[in-house]
Amino acid sequence: MNAMPAYIGFTDIAGLKWAGGNLGERKKRHMPYCSSLIMLVNPAINNFIAVLDGSYITNARTGAQTAVALKYLYADGSNERKSIRLGLYGAGMQGHMQTLAISKRFEIMELRVYDSI
């Protein structure tokens, strides 16, 4: 598990995300690879504001990184919707979220997926 603290000054909110992945026992129990929890606190009075499941936001953020990188590497930072052909290694959650994020930014002409399972 990784601990990722953060502070957003203009809202005066502090947070911590615990996140990690495990294929061993989680896979045997048919559970997702990634598990994470987000806790938000008001640092002025040390009150918890929220405790959230962090799996979706973790997967969405990680998938979106690919689309952002492609915007600058493939589309030269342009907002023009370009066509793209994709090849993914892995048909898990990250491949799904990367494809979803890329489809919001590009027109996917072809998608090829390889998965070892």
Asked if the model's pLDDT at residue 117 lies above 80, the reply is no
Q: Tell me the pLDDT tens digit for each residue of 89-113.
A: 988 889 999 999 999 999 999 999 9
- For CA atoms 54, 59, 62, 64, give the dihedral sign: negative
Residue 13 and residue 6 in contact, taking contact as beta carbons nearer than 8 Å = no
> What tokens appear for 112 in the block?
């090829």
